[in-house]
Amino acid sequence: MSKFILNIIHRPEMVPEYAEKVTGQGKKEDIGRKSLLTESLDIFKLQQEIAHENGFKTTIQMTYASLFNEEAVQLAKEHHEKYGDEIGLTLLGLPCKEFREKYKTKDFCIWMFSMEDKKSIVNDVFEKFHEVFGFYPTSTGSYYMDADLTNYIKEKYPMVKCAVATCWEEGPKAYRTCNNSWYTLFDGGPWNPWIPSKANTHAPAANAEEDSGIVAIPHLSRDLLACFDGNGSNFGTHPQNVLRGMIYKDGEYPYLFNLIDQYKSLQKYNNGYAYNMMFVGPGWMNKMGRWEAPYELLVKSYRDGMAYYAELRDKGEIEDMTMTEFADWYRVNKSYTEPECALWKDILYGSEKQLFWYVDPYLRTCVDMNQGGALIDLRPYVAKLEWPVGIGTKHVQDASYPFLIQSMYRAGYFTHYAGEGTIKSLKVSYEGEEVDLCLCRTKGKYSKKGKDTILTLDPVEIEFSDLKLKLVTTFTFTEGSSEIKVSRKIIEMSNPDAKVHLNEYMTACYGTTEYPEDMCGITLRCAGKEETKELSYNYKCREESVSNATKVEAVVPQINTRVSLIPGSTGMEGYLREGYAFSPMFTLGLTKTISNSEELITCLKLEKAD
């Protein structure tokens, strides 16, 4: 298969986010302002015109506000007839006179409402849509769709097949970039389309029983390296986001095309399939300009982006679909357990950094080749964590899927002065010297063998004062296993008789943000053939170890997760380390002394705790 699929989505947002705040500067708020409505509709028309000129069909996601606007409704009907555009319904763009009068709130993000309001809003919006068009939509969406919301929609409107359901790594970083005032906190999901589970939108369904009934698509296709550290809203298939990042000079932004091309290149890792989506809210093309980018440049970038997609289409390299067409295609061509993979390279900063991203229904992880193959992100999807969000729940705004490892939020290898950060890596020691693979920069290669996804790293060189060696790391992800097998093999030694000590370790905690959570309640356990040692986390900096280890594990009840390291051979020592208040982490490890040509195999396993 060779398929690169494109979804283009437009929404007639009668009161664009930003627009009222920016264009209305110095005026009293009035969301019914005539000039605002006219301009908003004009932007939608222009976006549609640009797509159609380039021969694309779009998915028109009607907003609640636009359902009260005859011209917007008429345009949607015409474009459906003439261009084959799909008429869908978004839960973005709720604000309008009718909405404010009924709900008496300025809230506008569907996942943050109380469950009672979510239901009522869904009913209102879907029924109004039906009243206007005479049918129910088959696609919907928002920046985030929580599981309870999706489940309700599917129960009430089972014809819905597709939804924009998250925005990749839009969380604490976006919040901070927006002066701590943009509450879209939903890190930790897949970057490409997936089938959400009924329990948690981020975590893909493992089988029909867990299937929420929709195909989820991300809001934009994001840069998998730049967004992991920087402000996500600068690096995506959203031309004006690229301008926001100031990633252009003299009206040229090759980065946008590099990004699209890199997404296309992901076909190599996903059985020939790749995906892109462009979804620019009208606020980004308003006449006042957007920050330092004038209107003309905003429009030019949209035209250029669309023209580039058209160029690819004309070469037979990309195919446009509406959201519902895509959902149908996805259902036929993908299975629940097939992983989504991306070997991603830096295309902006000129470094040689390379990351490997992996998602399946059991876990999401990221391997950093620039740190010798350290795991820098780990989300235990296998827990299928029930995490209600919105008013009246424990998480009014925070919809992120919790991590065990997130090396940006909870430090990785490097910490200031004391303590440890979250990371999974290997330490090699010899006669009192120790080297962590985090300091060995390398590259990786992807391969596939039956049900195994294999990432093989180029050999790294380790130099002690009295010994040099080369070591190769291989990661194997077996479909459906909820495990990552890691092999560390010594392939060369300057002294073939030397023996080195390998320490495969994982330092972890749990959370969704930069700030520490209480670790009390976590149980750490190391089991050996002869004995088992266990401790309950209490910040006492304790350590335990067993010989002939069979398993070392942590049970984290706060996120209903059991994480363990399992030896792939006999004769390993297993250890655990509790942290302390200044280092609220735990460490699990397996160690063994090995010789040249020998290999240390361990397995990281994730399970639901209860």
The owner of tokens 């029983």 is: 209
**Per-residue binder mask for other proteins (CB under 8 A), 157-176, x = binder:** ----------------x--x
Min CB(286)–other proteins separation in Å: 11
Please identify which residue in 114, 120, 265, 415 interacts with other proteins, judged by CB under 8 A.
Answer: 265
Q: Which of residues 315-344 bind other proteins (CB under 8 A)?
A: 343
Tokens 């929580």 sit on residue: 146
Residue 247 near other proteins by CB under 8 A: yes
Q: Which of 32, 84, 158, 254 binds other proteins (CB under 8 A)?
A: 254
CB of 343 to other proteins, least distance (A): 8
Under the criterion CB under 8 A, does residue 179 sit at the interface with other proteins? Answer: yes
Q: Which is nearer to other proteins, 25 or 465 (CB)?
A: 25
Residue 54 backbone dihedrals phi, psi, to 5 degrees: -90, 5
Beta strands in 302-363 (DSSP E): 319-321, 340-345, 354-359
**Nearer residue to other proteins within complex by CB, 230 or 568:** 230
Those residues with Cβ within 8 angstroms of residue 66's Cβ, 6 or more apart along the chain or in another chain: 11, 12, 13, 14, 72, 73, 93
| Residue 264 or 542 with smaller CB distance to other proteins | 264
Residue number, 179 or 335, with CB nearest to other proteins: 179
Q: Rounded to whole angstroms, how far apart are CA atoms 489 and 597?
A: 7
- Closer of 179 and 465 to other proteins (Cβ): 179
- Minimum gap (Å) between residue 230 Cβ and other proteins: 6
User: How many Å apart are CA 474 and CA 263, to the nearest integer?
Assistant: 24
Residue 459 contacts other proteins per CB under 8 A: no
Query: Of 347, 264, 273, which Cα lies nearest the Cα of 313?
Result: 264
- Minimum distance from CB of 349 to other proteins (Å)? 6
Among 1, 25, 28, 416, binds other proteins (CB under 8 A): 25
Rounded to the nearest 5 degrees, what angle is found at the Cα of 523, between the Cα atoms of 520 and 526? Answer: 145
Q: How far is the CB of 292 from other proteins (least distance, A)?
A: 5
Q: Least distance from C-beta 397 to other proteins, angstroms?
A: 19
Instruction: Give the helix ranges, DSSP H, for 477-582.
Output: none
Q: How many residues bind other proteins (CB under 8 A)?
A: 36
**CA–CA separation, 423 and 70 (whole Å):** 55
Binding test (CB under 8 A) with other proteins, winner from 1, 101, 335, 350: 350
Number of C-beta neighbours around residue 385 at 10 A: 21
270: closest CA among 379, 368, 360, 196?
360
How far is residue 224's CA from residue 169's CA, in Å, rounded to a whole number?
9
- The window from 80-88, 245-253, 375-383, 587-595 that contacts other proteins (CB under 8 A) reads 245-253
Residue 30: CB minimum distance to other proteins, A? 18
Query: What's the rounded Cα separation, in Å, for the pair 463 and 470?
Result: 9
Q: Is 258 in the site for other proteins (CB under 8 A)?
A: yes
In whole angstroms, what is the distance from residue 605 CA to residue 593 CA? 23
Give me the 277-296 binding string for other proteins, x by CB under 8 A, dash otherwise.
-----------xxxxx-x--
Tell me if residue 332 falls in helix, strand or coil: helix
Residue 114 exposed, middle or buried by CB count within 10 Å (0-12, 13-18, 19+): middle
In the numeric block, the tokens 């990552």 are attached to 484
**According to CB under 8 A, which one of 177, 271, 333, 487 is a site residue for other proteins?**
177
Please report, as a single letter, which amino acid is at residue 470: K
Buried b (16+ CB within 10 A) or exposed e, 578-588: bbbeebbbbbb
Closest CB 47 distance from other proteins, rounded Å: 21
Helix (H) or strand (E) holding 201: none
Task: Provide, rounded to whole angstroms, the least separation between the CB of residue 301 and other proteins.
Answer: 15
The residue (of 123 and 351) whose beta carbon lies closer to other proteins is: 351
- DSSP secondary structure of 376-423: EEEE-GGG-----BSTTSSBSSB-PPPBSEETTTS--S--SSSS--SE
Helix (H) or strand (E) run with residue 609 in it: none
CB 140 within 8 A of CB 88: yes
Indicate the residue among 22 and 115 with the shorter CB distance to other proteins.
22
Which of 136/248 has CB closer to other proteins? Answer: 248
Q: Among residues 262, 322, 482, 596, which is the contact residue for other proteins, using CB under 8 A?
A: 262
Site stretch for other proteins (CB under 8 A), options 69-77, 254-262, 356-364, 369-377:
254-262
Among 347, 391, 467, 609, binds other proteins (CB under 8 A): 347
Q: How far is the CB of 287 from other proteins (least distance, A)?
A: 12
In the complex, which residues of this chain contact other proteins (CB under 8 A)?
Answer: 22, 25-26, 173, 176-179, 230-231, 244, 246-249, 252, 254-255, 257-258, 261-262, 265, 288-292, 294, 343, 345, 347-351
